[in-house]
Amino acid sequence: MDVRELKIAGAYHCVPDTFPDARGHLASPYQEAAFTAATGHGLFPVRQTNHSRSRRGVVRGVHFTTTPPGQAKYVHCSQGRALDIVVDVRVGSPTFGVWESVVLTAEHPSGVYLPIGVGHAFVALEDTAMTYLLSVGYTAAHEQAVSVFDPTLDLPVPHDGTVILSERDRDALTLAEAADRDLLPHYDTSLAVEAALYGTPPAEAHTRPGTVPGTPGTPGPQGSDA
């Protein structure tokens, strides 16, 4: 398995080998040894799994969880194909406002790890099923959203009126509006919650060479399609 850290500090794309034969193929979207070698810890204790089915053109997100309690996720595509988007909504993060996208498919399954406090969205490129492993169970009062159409984020989402959204996602606040209402997770708090989850020192979590924890990045079209 190849594990690559994304532009968003603490988020990873995990790509396993795929083994095809006459029957089909076999792949392991999560592998503990490779994940631990890249991140310094294994996956969180799984408290809930979710399975979503989406028609082609559905967009879900940008979703995040009030922190604390926060929620870490491990996501992979179990049917179809999706453009998976990770957005740093942690106030004070060195990559605040930055996004990165990867294409997840069932044919060549890979997983995305989202740390505490990070936002998540995806575009169903065909009829698609997504599987989520979650560090905490669902609580409606803790679930928040930022608009996928926020022009300062400039996410790779169609703007031609063809996408299918829930009412909540269509009416979601912009990143700036959510920040003004103090709804966004804070970077230092997110690190502390994640450190408690894994038993690691928060000061060492997600720190990249040449970055200073707590220094905000600049929101804007800073993502890349992979």
Q: What residue spans of 124-186 are helical by DSSP H?
A: 167-170, 175-180
Q: Is residue 74 among the annotated active site residues?
A: no
Exactly one of 12, 13, 30, 63 is catalytic; name it: 63
Nearest one of 150, 167, 163 to 54, comparing CA atoms: 163
CA angle 19, 25, 31 (to 5 degrees): 60
- Under a CB-based contact definition with an 8 Å cutoff, are residues 70 and 192 in contact? no
Q: Is residue 132 among the annotated active site residues?
A: yes
Tell me the C-alpha distance between 85 and 223, whole Å: 9
Exactly one of 132, 142, 186, 198 is catalytic; name it: 132
Which pair of structure tokens corresponds to residue 166?
């829930």
**CA–CA distances in Å: residue 42 to residues 31, 35, 64, 68, 89:** 9, 6, 22, 21, 24
Q: Is 124 exposed, middle or buried (0-12, 13-18, 19+ CB in 10 A)?
A: buried
Q: Give the catalytic positions in this structure.
A: 63, 132
